[in-house]
Every structure is written in C-alpha cells, then in structure tokens.
Chain A
C-alpha cells in the first residue's frame, strides 16, 4: 500500500526520542541499584527477618512490630533508637556550632576589603584539605594519637600534667569531643568556602552605601550581610544537618563500632550497621532506614523551601 508515507511517518524529525534514550541508562541503574533496594528496605521493615546462627528466621509479616520493637526500652532501660538519635544530634551539634561560627568569621575575614587578607588561596587550600581525607583513616589516626600509648599521652606524661595516661576513649566527654573535633576539622573549611561565595554574591554597593551611611562593621553584618546571606546560610546549615544525621565513619572507626563508652557515641547509622552485620536483621534494619528516610525527608523539604525562596 502506501509504503512511502508509512516510512516517512516513522522517520520523523522529532528529537524527543533521543531525550529518552539519553536518560535511560540513569534510570535503569537507578531502578535496579537504588529504587528497588529502597522499596525492598521499606518492605522488609514490616517483616521479621533475621539470621540466628545458621538459621534464617522469617520473613514473617509482623506489621508495625519492628517499629514497636524499635521504640521499646531495652534491658538497660532506655530506648536505643531515641538514645542514638540524640547521640547523633549531640555529636553533630558539638561539631557544627564551632564549625559555623568559625566558618562565618573566616568568610567575613576573607571577604573584608578593609582587612585585605593576603595568602587567601593558601589558607583556603589548607582549611579545606581535611574534607577530602579518608574519614576512616582520619579517625584511625586520631585513635592512634589519643590511645593510651599514643603521642598525646606521651606529651601529657612527659610534661607532668598527669601521672597516669588518660584514656580518652573511655570517657563520654572526651570521645564525643574527639568526634566533634574531627567533624569540625573536616567541615569548617568547606562551610567557609560556601559562605564566602554567598557573601561575594551580595551586591558590593550595598556594603559601600551602608558604610557611607555611617554603619559600623557589626551593624553592616547584622543589617545587611546576615539577612541577605540567610537563604544560603540555612541551606548550608540544613545540608550539614542531613550530613550529620548520616554520621558513621568517624565514630565507627574511633570506637570500633561499639560507641564507647556505654553506647554514648553510637550514631543512627552505626546502629543500622549493627543490624546489617552478622545478624542480617533486615527487618529491624529496614525500620531504622525508614526512620532515617523520614528525618531526612523533613529536613530536605526545608532545603527545597530555601532554594525556592531564592
């Protein structure tokens, strides 16, 4: 029949199909390696499903059983998930507060035309560096430094500050401080650079006119810099929080996965990790993941809101 028409219909010059072709690898891989596992994770959270020695228990549907279990106090009298969430928030907060204060100060120093800091590239390079260091190795390094026989204790002993070596890894306050210090060192450079970019994005003439109007530097900061920087500040702050919720490598390696002392440095992901180890407790791990997902989803909504405002 009318073959020519047919073939010309097929060979349209619309390029839409190429759009699909180009995004297909992404979506296939995403579906197989991320989306499907995510759905499986959520699905698992409603089942009793774990390994006991060589036996595999389940999967048995238990409804919200895993969630109930998650929020049931353990033998020591606390609810693990709540305690670990609070731990995580405390650990993040201890690092994030100095991180944001210092980063804000540095960003102001670097962008100040009055101070005119020399060697900015050098300072930025140095303070950003810890961000790229392997967190597990960094943590291992701290462990070696602060162990009973490490250099820090050697200094303390030789200088006579204490008679006995201090067991930094046995005390709640020191373990948390070390984790916070590492997180601070790893992230303040990154935050500085982001806030700097934010300040540089503000119209220079606003600062100039404020200065001519007689504002002091503090007034300029509170009346101009901070309000205009707020969206970026919030964005960086919440993404830091989302990162903080996922804190794992540093405390895991520093405390060898057990959150010494007394689980006071056990984070959410470390808790999740314990279920994925030998016990392969997919049910409980699924429930923890769903919780993690809900927390980050709420935080992400804030991120998108701040992006929208811009």
Chain B
C-alpha cells in the first residue's frame, strides 16, 4: 500500500515533468524558429527563396551580404555606423549622468532633495511620445533635424536609469566610504569618479547594455527626426524597406539586411545574457 502510493506519486511527477519540459521546449522553439528561418533565408538566393521553403541553409550568404552592404537605397553600413554612434554615446551618457544624479541625491543633504527625488520618480512614467510633438516642432523650427546629437544628448536625463542607480547606491555605497575619501583629501568630483564609479561598475554595465539595446532598436523618434539617408539609423532603414514595393526586391538581400539589423544585439546578448537577465529583475520590481 505504502509502496503503491510512492509509486503513483513518482509516475505523477514523471508525467508532469514531461508536460512541463514539453511546454518549455515548444516555447523555446517558438522564440527561435522565426530567427532561425531568418538566418536560413538570409543564406539563400532570391531564386531559391521563390522556389520553396526549407530549413536547410543555402550557400548564398556571402553574396547576399555583399549585395546588402552595397545597396544604395538602404546603405546599411551608414545606418549601422549612425546607430552605433547614437547607441554607444547614449549608453555612456545615460549611465554616467544617471549615476551622478543618483549620487547627488543620495549622498548630499540639501533642501529640495526629497522633492527632487520624488519628482524624478513621478516623471518616470510619462511616455516619451508626450514630448515628441514639441520636440519635433522645435527641431524643425531650429533646423535641428538630421542631427544625431539630438538623439544622444536627451539620454542624459533618464529617470528610470536614475531610479536603478539610486537603488544600487542605497544597497552598496556606505556613506563612510565617501567620508573616508574626503578625509583622504579627495575632492567631490574625484570621489565620484575614482571611488564611487568603480563601485557602481556592475550597475553601470547593466544600464549601458540596456540603454545601448534600447537606443539601437529605437524607431519612433529617429523616424520623425531623420530623413537624410546619411543620417538614418538602422530601424529607420529597415522600415523604409517595408514601404517600398516588396515583391520586386531580392529577398535574400532583404533577409540579410534584417540579420544585420538584429545581429549586433544578438551577439551582445549571447555574450552577456546572464548579467542581462539578472539586470531585468534588479531594476524594476523593488519599490
């Protein structure tokens, strides 16, 4: 009797495990399938693509790449260069200045400190699109369209990154450390740059990754701001692909362009997935 109970429980567990692994494998398949197909198609010639569907890569990847790279309507190299400039500079600025601002409200006692902290928390939820109308209006008024720095500089004021940095500081930086540095003769800027920034390295790294990815993928504002082909970023170029007459394209090239748009982030993700996933939880849930 007792043995039977144990046995049936074992069978039940086995069955639920099979079901759970089945679900997990199905979802993983779903997540990977479209990207896998994208890679496969990017390696096939237009004729092969028209002929039919397969899961086996073709031998045309290099040719598609060369075609995509030299396409004059899309100029993906320029797009990638622009995207890279915007994304990396935004990542650096947003993490440095958010850390600086968080440090400012955490370490120093000044009159409006609490008000300022609450203010930044309150504006965190305002969607960026709300300022878009005024932003675009100003950009056109002062002839600032097609300027990449218009996408870079605003990243200095990033309330959600501030929030993350502030929480990180509260958890990791004892005030005595700052005081020790003061007594060691360091000035306030040096304390931040030489003592606090190194301590915040993990937080900075996480926020730089997220900000880089977010900026690399950003479509709404660049699409409104950039119309010069020399200034467009990758997402804007990919979207123009959609508006052209699609059926006339060399589809192998089109898939290759998508690969080139997605691949940099994928590579970053494959290398840093562990810390990225950790970063997802550490920033957002804690109140």
Q: Which residues of A contact B (CB under 8 A)?
A: 15-23, 25-27, 29-30, 33-41, 43-44, 102, 105-106, 109, 114-115, 117, 121-130, 132-138, 140-145, 147-149, 151, 154-155, 158, 185, 188-190, 193-194, 196-198, 232, 235-236, 239, 242, 245-246, 248-249, 252-253, 256-257, 269, 272-273, 275-276, 280, 282, 285-286, 289-290, 292-293, 296-297, 299-300, 303-304, 306-308, 310
Q: Which residue of B lies closest to A26 (CB)?
A: B101
Contact call A151/B41, Cβ cutoff below 8 A = yes
The answer to whether B234 touches A253, judged by C-beta atoms less than 8 angstroms apart, is no
Tell me which residues across on chain A come within 8 A of B261, comparing CB atoms.
Answer: 134, 137
- In the complex where A26-B157, A136-B239, A307-B287 touch, is A102 in contact with B220 (Cβ < 8 A)? no
Contact of B156 among A25, A232, A272 (CB under 8 A): A25
Q: How far is the CB of B43 from chain A (nearest CB, A)?
A: 14
**B70, CB-defined interface residue at 8 Å:** no
- Taken together as a complex, chains A and B put the C-alpha atoms of A13 and B13 apart, in Å, by 67
Q: Give the complex CA separation of A246 and B221 in angstroms.
A: 13
Query: Pick the contact of B104 from A19, A115, A273 — CB < 8 Å?
Result: A19
Contact, CB under 8 Å: A22 / B104: yes
A189 proximity list for chain B (CB < 8 A): 31
Contact present for A125 and B130 (CB under 8 Å): no
Chain A residue at minimal CB-CB distance from B154? A33
Known: A144-B254, A145-B37, A252-B239. 17 other contacts (CB 8 A): A15-B108, A19-B113, A33-B153, A34-B157, A37-B133, A37-B135, A40-B138, A44-B133, A127-B28, A140-B258, A189-B31, A197-B281, A239-B284, A269-B129, A276-B132, A285-B133, A303-B125
Report Cα–Cα, A105/B27, bound state, in Å.
12
Chain A binding site: helix, strand, loop or mixed by DSSP? helix
Between A and B, 22 residue pairs with Cβ closer than 8 Å are: A16-B108, A18-B108, A22-B103, A27-B157, A30-B123, A34-B123, A37-B133, A44-B133, A117-B20, A128-B277, A132-B276, A133-B265, A135-B219, A136-B238, A143-B242, A154-B53, A158-B53, A242-B127, A272-B133, A276-B133, A289-B129, A297-B126
Residue numbers in B under 8 Å from A239 (CB-CB): 284
Q: Kindly list chain A residues whose C-beta atoms are within 8 Å of the C-beta of B97.
A: 25-26, 29
With A26-B162, A117-B24, A282-B133 as given contacts, are A142 and B258 in contact (CB-CB < 8 Å)? no
Minimum CB distance partner of B259 in chain A: A137
Are A249 and B220 interface neighbours, CB within 8 A? yes
B134, B192, B284 — most chain A CB neighbours (10 Å): B134
How far is B128's CA from A242's CA once the two chains are assembled, in angstroms? 12
Q: Which residues of A contact B120 (CB under 8 A)?
A: 26
Chain B residues positioned under 8 Å from A158 (CB to CB)? 52-53
Measured between C-beta atoms, what is the minimum distance from A13 to chain B in Å? 9
| Known interface pairs A22-B103, A127-B28, A134-B262; A246-B125 also in contact (CB < 8 Å) | no
Interface residues on B, range: 35 or more
Contact pick for A23, options B34, B50, B116, CB 8 Å: B116
Given contacts A27-B157, A134-B265, contact A121 B242 (CB under 8 A): no
Question: How close is B57's CB to chain A, nearest CB, in angstroms?
Answer: 14
Contact of B269 among A117, A132, A257, A297 (CB under 8 A): A132
Q: Which residues of A contact B140 (CB under 8 A)?
A: 280
Residue of A nearest to B254 (CB): A144
Contact with A along B13-52 (1 / 0, CB 8 A): 1001100110110011011101101100100000000101
Q: How far is the CA of A71 from the CA of B3 in the complex (A)?
A: 71
Closest to A299 in B: B125
Q: Given known contacts A19-B109, A286-B133, is B219 in contact with A248 (CB within 8 Å)? A: yes
